[in-house]
Amino acid sequence: MQRLQVESRLASYQVVAEPGALGRLGEVLAAEGLAAPRSLVSDTVVAPLWAQAAAASCGASLLTIPAGEASKCWATVEDLLGRWLERGLHRGELVAAVGGGVVSDLVGFAAAVFLRGIAWVAAPTTLVGMVDAAIGGKTGINLERGKNLVGAFWPPRLVVIDPQALRTLPARELAAGGAEVVKTAWLGDRGLLPVIRDMAQPRFGALPVEVWQELVMRCATVKAGVVSADEREAGPRAALNLGHTLGHALEAATAYRRFLHGEAVAWGLLAAARLGRRRGLLSPAACEELSSAVRALGPLPGIADLAAEAVASHIGRDKKRDDGGVAWVLPSDGGVALGQRVTIDEALEVFTELQKAAS
Ligand SMILES: NC(=O)c1ccc[n+]([C@@H]2O[C@H](COP(=O)([O-])OP(=O)(O)OC[C@H]3O[C@@H](n4cnc5c(N)ncnc54)[C@H](O)[C@@H]3O)[C@@H](O)[C@H]2O)c1
Ligand SMILES: [Zn+2]
């Protein structure tokens, strides 16, 4: 069992990884000194693939929510809380989340508010879940008005990673998660970039399970380091927004339909690399190091047909058009430069350059 410790102001807990850990979840939890969960929550896709076996191994009843982002809402939280009450779950118990970021965000949030807070464990089954969503203690749901507007800092008791789960993850989801891997590697473990670049071809998904485990645990270590320094967002945690300024704008400009989050972040990383280069923060070699790792993940949904003005207006959505810009996180040779003002005009220019380069 490979493990790492996450230390933060709110809690300290371990992330453990081993191939086959999901099928032996009951054993794994017992070995970590945790009681068996009575309720295990998953989604309709992950349940037959991984969660039924995980639930059986710990004698938990399995609750299944519809797969997809739309489940991350009040109605599902209310439904879950009701089912936990029906089953007589009490304060001292543990619940488990087996699935991607949707399941861990939702179950973590429901656990945070159920009886004013019960313990939970996260068993992420997507690349995004393993390197990002399940680590750091943020939980939450979406409102009609926007994503992740309601939530709580409620770290899990334990994160259990079974790298074998990635075998069934669709290639597109895997590549999208790869963009967060590249981001994380840039922030804290550059040695991973050549691994991604060399091994992404011909098929990212064909990596051996040990390589996946290594990749995931090294990224989890970087994220754990960032959140340990600063669980509640200010300061260093802002570095995690690398690639996200344009990424979020692309998602919003296409009504969240065209890009998976990671795909939009991949474009965001390419834009941030160009901006870093323009500002002299990045050497040509470092710019290429970052960009080539992103490109190695494979083709992205296109941006050529998007109106640059519309995308730019989402970048400055909460700001006035002429306010002197928006703060971006930009890559630098040594890591990242926080709070870099980029005017909307400059963002527009770089976006147009990207469109030309991609067409
Ligand atoms: N809390 C945080 O810090 C944080 C960080 C990043 C992302 N998030 C949140 O995470 C969510 C995105 O997470 P995601 O990308 O994991 O999406 P997801 O949970 O929707 O999973 C993507 C798809 O893959 C399927 N799936 C999951 N595991 C599978 C497997 N092993 N095999 C086959 N199919 C599988 C799911 O059913 C779903 O259809 C967003 O809601 C985002 O806001 C939270
Ligand atoms: Zn992200």
Whether the predicted pLDDT of 203 surpasses 90: no
In a domain, residue 206? The reply is: no
In a domain, residue 228? The reply is: no
Share of the chain above pLDDT 90, in %: 83
pLDDT attached to residue 312 = 87
Tell me the mean pLDDT in the region 232-250.
86
- Do residues 247 and 125 share a domain? no
CATH of the domain at 294: 1.20.1090.10
Nearest ligand, CA of residue 132? Answer: 1
**Alpha-helix residue ranges (DSSP H) falling in 165-260:** 171-188, 192-199, 209-229, 244-253
CA dist 50 and 164 (Å) reads 10
244 is catalytic: yes
The answer to which of 31-35, 147-151, 196-200, 287-291 has the lowest mean pLDDT is: 196-200
Helix (H) or strand (E) segment spanning residue 275? helix 261-278
The number of the ligand 1 atom at minimal distance from the alpha carbon of 49 is 32
Are 101 and 151 in contact by the 8 Å Cβ rule? The answer is: no
pLDDT attached to residue 58 = 96
pLDDT attached to residue 259 = 98
* Cα 133 to ligand 2 centroid, rounded to whole Å: 9
CA dist 174 and 167 (Å) reads 9
Give me the sign of the Cα torsion angle 322, 326, 332, 334: positive
Count of Cβ atoms closer than 10 Å to residue 116 Cβ: 7
Whether the predicted pLDDT of 190 surpasses 70: yes
CA dist 243 and 254 (Å) reads 17
CA dist 206 and 188 (Å) reads 25
Residue predicted with more confidence, 317 or 258: 258
62-73 burial string, b = 16+ CB within 10 Å, else e?
A: bbbbebeeebbb
CA dist 158 and 226 (Å) reads 18
Local confidence band at 230 (pLDDT 50, 70, 90 cut-offs) = low
CA dist 24 and 338 (Å) reads 42
Local confidence band at 200 (pLDDT 50, 70, 90 cut-offs) = low
Tell me the mean pLDDT in the region 12-38.
97
pLDDT attached to residue 313 = 85
116 is catalytic: yes
The number of the ligand 1 atom at minimal distance from the alpha carbon of 67 is 37
Mean of the per-residue pLDDT values for the chain? 93
- Do residues 61 and 150 share a domain? yes
Q: State the residue range of the domain holding 299.
A: 235-358
| 117-152 residue pLDDT tens | 999 999 999 999 999 999 999 999 999 888 899 999
Overall domain count for the chain:
2
In a domain, residue 202? The reply is: no
CATH of the domain at 122: 3.40.50.1970
User: What SS3 state is found at 2?
Assistant: strand
- Do residues 33 and 154 share a domain? yes
Domain boundary among 168, 188, 212: 168
Residue closest by Cα to atom 8 of ligand 1? 133
CA dist 173 and 171 (Å) reads 5
* Cα 91 to ligand 2 centroid, rounded to whole Å: 32
* Structure-block tokens of residue 283: 């050497």
Local confidence band at 227 (pLDDT 50, 70, 90 cut-offs) = confident
Distances (CA, A) of 114 to 61, 89, 150, 219: 17, 9, 15, 31
- Do residues 19 and 148 share a domain? yes
In a domain, residue 186? The reply is: no
349 is catalytic: no
pLDDT attached to residue 208 = 86
Pocket of ligand 1 (CB under 6 A): 43, 45-46, 49-50, 67-69, 72, 99-103, 105, 125-126, 128-129, 132-133, 136, 138, 147-148, 165, 168-169, 173
237 is catalytic: yes
| 279-338 residue pLDDT tens | 999 999 999 999 999 999 999 999 999 999 889 889 876 554 456 788 999 999 999 999
Nearest ligand, CA of residue 128? Answer: 1
Distances (CA, A) of 305 to 40, 258, 274, 302: 43, 12, 20, 8
- Do residues 16 and 134 share a domain? yes
In a domain, residue 219? The reply is: no
* Cα 310 to ligand 1 centroid, rounded to whole Å: 27
The answer to which of 4-8, 28-32, 152-156 has the lowest mean pLDDT is: 4-8
pLDDT attached to residue 206 = 73
In a domain, residue 326? The reply is: yes
In a domain, residue 223? The reply is: no
- Do residues 146 and 260 share a domain? no
Tell me the mean pLDDT in the region 224-249.
83
- Indicate which residue of 241, 251, 277, 289 is catalytic: 241
Given ligand 1 and candidates 44, 64, 72, 102, which is best to mutate, with the most ligand atoms within 8 Å of its CB?
102
| 149-188 residue pLDDT tens | 999 999 999 999 999 999 999 999 999 999 999 999 999 9
The number of the ligand 1 atom at minimal distance from the alpha carbon of 176 is 15
- Do residues 152 and 247 share a domain? no
- Do residues 35 and 160 share a domain? yes
Residue 35 carries which DSSP code? P
| 347-359 residue pLDDT tens | 999 999 999 998 7
pLDDT attached to residue 204 = 65
Domain boundary among 113, 136, 168: 168
- Do residues 158 and 10 share a domain? yes
Q: Which residues are paired to 340 by β-bridges?
A: 328
pTM (2 d.p.): 0.95
Please state the φ and ψ torsions of residue 118, each to the nearest 5 degrees.
-125, 165
Tell me the mean pLDDT in the region 242-271.
96
Local confidence band at 8 (pLDDT 50, 70, 90 cut-offs) = confident
β-pair type (12-17, 335-342): unpaired
The number of the ligand 1 atom at minimal distance from the alpha carbon of 44 is 37
Given ligand 1 and candidates 42, 173, 227, which is best to mutate, with the most ligand atoms within 8 Å of its CB?
173
148 is catalytic: no
pLDDT attached to residue 10 = 83
- Do residues 354 and 249 share a domain? yes
Q: Which of 286, 283, 101 is nearest to 185 (CA)?
A: 286
pLDDT attached to residue 323 = 61
Q: Which residues are paired to 332 by β-bridges?
A: 335
Whether the predicted pLDDT of 62 surpasses 70: yes
- Do residues 34 and 163 share a domain? yes
- Do residues 23 and 159 share a domain? yes
In a domain, residue 45? The reply is: yes
| 79-102 residue pLDDT tens | 999 999 999 999 999 999 999 999
314 is catalytic: no
